[in-house]
């Protein structure tokens, strides 16, 4: 037994009986269980209960044993002077408040359904990646959709907080933050670090100086990344080498250690060299990029903002640190990659800007776009599919990622709508 489960049962009124009798033999009628408090102080604020025909308004404290009250020193703490009910699993000691009056106590061990306890044990045991898998029950569709909606907003709110942190580090420069976030997205998991290092050295303000000079722009990105070292480079890359030699001298630029980039088992279409050229190309083609994003009103405009129209192909074999055979890849971005940028960077940035500037229509627009984007495909989404939750749109996949990462992985089953459904007794009492 733990206090969290007792709180949960009290909060949701999942008790076996509605005729409650305190350990002092008095009748207890619950009008309001109170508001759960996750900070310091009593566990529930502003409860309303009737004890033997007298109405009481105040706080409720929850413990495993009633003697925990004394062990935690609540008898000397003013924060607990308005506790009107002590909820305990086991009543092992009579407890008094600061006025030396006995605090009404409700012992819960005979009031909780065995099935609830058994199922809670399964959740705590966590034998599957999704702990509830062995006893999984799909909530009612309406509850599930409300939960998905809330999780998807929660995920955006969480990203908003991260963006605000980056904003603090850039003196509220939205273009710079957007530029850096895009870079990390282009690095994906494997090369997020070198991409981050790149934009830490080549700032948005700095690269802006070269917006009219395509060759210099490419040379800056590819050269700083350390990919222009190959002695047998083709003509175009030799030109870039010379340009970078000039620019690095002019601006006192170092370059990254080429070993920072991971090629590993990635397919050529995901090589960091190709991603880097694509990133440079995308940035080059968009002046006031973030502002343009904010001006997008429709989903079609949003997608087209990230399309690269260049027909150019680059030889990623020639740019490979070990000098591989020529292999040409188009610079254009795949539909799937653009969707990933939209989900992970563009939409959260618009949402965050809307919150920051209190322009609610931008937050709504960002959320609508998520509803229009197709579902993502990854191992988390597959996991939910095996349990019967099939996502069709990106707001749903984002919600299910949030659920897995911030509820399942952090044992927050008691705060989860699915957990609630699983632990809910067949018959819920009205009190």
Q: Which residues bind ligand SF4 (CB under 6 A)?
A: 123, 130-132, 403, 407-408, 412-413, 416, 418-419, 422
What is the Cα–Cα distance from 360 to 353, expressed in whole angstroms? 10
Q: Which is nearer to ligand SF4, 337 or 407 (CB)?
A: 407
> Least distance from C-beta 357 to ligand SF4, angstroms?
34
Q: Which is nearer to ligand SF4, 140 or 307 (CB)?
A: 140
Phi then psi for residue 131, to 5 deg, are -55, -30
CA dihedral 326, 218, 222, 209 (to 10 degrees): 180
Q: Which is nearer to ligand SF4, 346 or 408 (CB)?
A: 408
> Least distance from C-beta 400 to ligand SF4, angstroms?
9
> Least distance from C-beta 421 to ligand SF4, angstroms?
8
Long-range own/partner contacts, residues 262-270 (CB < 8 A, 24 or more apart): 262/190, 262/191, 263/320, 263/321, 264/190, 266/190, 268/316, 268/327, 268/329, 269/329, 269/334, 270/188
Give buried/exposed letters for 361-377 (b at 16+ CB in 10 A, else e). Answer: ebbebbbebbeebebbe
Q: Which is nearer to ligand SF4, 123 or 319 (CB)?
A: 123
> Least distance from C-beta 322 to ligand SF4, angstroms?
44
Q: Which is nearer to ligand SF4, 256 or 416 (CB)?
A: 416
Helix (H, G, I), strand (E, B) or coil at 35: strand
Q: Which is nearer to ligand SF4, 263 or 406 (CB)?
A: 406
Phi then psi for residue 410, to 5 deg, are -110, 25
> Which tokens in the block code for residue 236?
């175009």
Instruction: Check: CB of residue 327 under 8 Å from CB of residue 268.
Output: yes
> Which tokens in the block code for residue 123?
């959740």
Q: Which is nearer to ligand SF4, 199 or 402 (CB)?
A: 402
Looking at residue 414, the DSSP 8-state letter turns out to be G
Q: Which is nearer to ligand SF4, 204 or 407 (CB)?
A: 407
C-alpha distances (whole Å) from 374 to each of 341, 356, 369, 430 are 13, 27, 10, 42
Instruction: Check: CB of residue 153 under 8 Å from CB of residue 367.
Output: yes
Closest by Cα among 367, 379, 347, 395 to 151: 395
> Least distance from C-beta 404 to ligand SF4, angstroms?
7
Looking at residue 129, the DSSP 8-state letter turns out to be S
> Which tokens in the block code for residue 79?
């924060």
> Least distance from C-beta 15 to ligand SF4, angstroms?
21
> Least distance from C-beta 132 to ligand SF4, angstroms?
3
> Least distance from C-beta 304 to ligand SF4, angstroms?
37
Q: Which is nearer to ligand SF4, 42 or 419 (CB)?
A: 419
> Least distance from C-beta 133 to ligand SF4, angstroms?
8
What is the Cα–Cα distance from 239 to 172, expressed in whole angstroms? 37
Instruction: Check: CB of residue 237 under 8 Å from CB of residue 183.
Output: no
Q: Which is nearer to ligand SF4, 132 or 202 (CB)?
A: 132
Instruction: Check: CB of residue 317 under 8 Å from CB of residue 230.
Output: no
> Least distance from C-beta 157 to ligand SF4, angstroms?
18
């Amino acid at each position: 037994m733990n206090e969290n489960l007792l709180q949960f049962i009290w909060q949701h009124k999942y008790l076996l009986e509605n005729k409650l009798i305190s350990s002092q033999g008095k009748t207890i009628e619950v009008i309001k269980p109170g508001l759960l408090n996750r900070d310091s102080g009593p566990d529930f604020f502003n409860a309303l209960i009737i004890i033997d025909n007298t109405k009481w308004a105040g706080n409720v404290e929850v413990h495993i044993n009633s003697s925990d009250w004394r062990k935690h020193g609540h008898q000397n703490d003013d924060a607990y002077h308005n506790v009107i009910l002590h909820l305990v699993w086991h009543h092992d000691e009579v407890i008094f408040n600061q006025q030396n009056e006995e605090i009404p106590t409700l012992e819960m061990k005979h009031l909780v359904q065995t099935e609830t306890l058994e199922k809670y044990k399964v959740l705590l045991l966590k034998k599957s990646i999704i702990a509830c898998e062995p006893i999984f029950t799909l909530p009612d569709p309406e509850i599930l959709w409300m939960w998905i909606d809330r999780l998807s907003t929660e995920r955006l709110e969480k990203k908003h907080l991260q963006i605000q942190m980056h904003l603090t580090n850039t003196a509220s420069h939205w273009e710079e933050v957007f530029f850096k976030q895009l870079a990390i997205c282009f690095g994906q998991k494997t090369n997020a670090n070198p991409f981050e290092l790149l934009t830490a050295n080549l700032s948005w303000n700095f690269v802006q100086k070269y917006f009219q000079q395509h060759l210099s722009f490419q040379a800056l990105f590819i050269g700083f990344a350390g990919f222009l070292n190959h002695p047998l480079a083709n003509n175009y890359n030799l030109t870039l080498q010379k340009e970078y030699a000039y620019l690095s001298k002019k601006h006192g630029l170092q370059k990254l250690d080429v070993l920072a980039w991971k090629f590993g088992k990635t397919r050529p279409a995901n090589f960091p060299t190709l991603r880097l050229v694509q990133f440079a190309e995308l940035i080059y083609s968009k002046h006031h990029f973030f502002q343009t994003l904010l001006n997008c009103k429709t989903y079609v405009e949003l997608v087209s903002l990230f399309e690269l129209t260049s027909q150019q192909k680059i030889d990623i074999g020639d740019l490979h640190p070990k000098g591989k055979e020529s292999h040409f890849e188009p610079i254009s971005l795949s539909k799937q990659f653009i969707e990933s940028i939209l989900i992970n960077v563009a939409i959260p940035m618009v949402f965050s800007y809307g919150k920051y500037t209190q322009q609610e229509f931008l937050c709504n627009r960002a959320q609508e776009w998520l509803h229009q984007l197709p579902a993502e495909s990854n191992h988390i989404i597959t996991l939910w599919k095996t349990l019967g939750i099939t996502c069709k749109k990106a707001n749903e996949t984002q919600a299910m990622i949030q659920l897995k990462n911030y509820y399942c992985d952090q044992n927050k089953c008691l705060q989860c709508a699915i957990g609630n459904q699983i632990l809910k007794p067949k018959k819920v009492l009205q009190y």
